[in-house]
Amino acid sequence: MRKFFTAVVVIPLGLIFIIFAVANRHWVTVSFDPFNSVTPTVAVTLPLFVVIIAAAILGVIAGGIATWFRQGRWRRAARQHEADARHVRAELADLRAAASRGDVPRLSAPGQSGFYGSAGRDKQGATL
């Protein structure tokens, strides 16, 4: 599967990057000085394809970070559910061990009041 992914996605993507780099190899000056555009104090001269690919990489990284922060509550909930599941599995193992020894705690039988209360009605008041 990995070789198939490489052949179908990575190789054509690499060829596209190479073609893009050859087509956009002229030099551009990127200025970080908004007040002096003639002689900027902070400027970098790079090929155009480097500027565009770097901007795309930074955009992907920023999007990934934003997505990671937005999904924080789901990761927290998953950790909590995993901890609850571990606790329940341990409790079940203890109950099974107790059952194999024969000292199982028995639940008391429901009283005269019935399962739905003393009036024999459910929460909405319907007679059972």
Q: Quick: pLDDT tens for 19-30.
A: 988 888 899 988
Once rounded to an integer, what is the mean pLDDT over residues 58-85? Answer: 95
- Asked if the model's pLDDT at residue 42 lies above 90, the reply is no
CB 27 within 8 A of CB 46: yes
What's the mean pLDDT when you consider all of the chain?
84
The CA-atom distances, in angstroms, between 108 and each of 93, 113, 122 are: 22, 13, 21
User: Domain residues of the chain, as ranges?
Assistant: 2-70, 73-101
- Asked if the model's pLDDT at residue 123 lies above 70, the reply is no
- Asked if the model's pLDDT at residue 71 lies above 90, the reply is yes
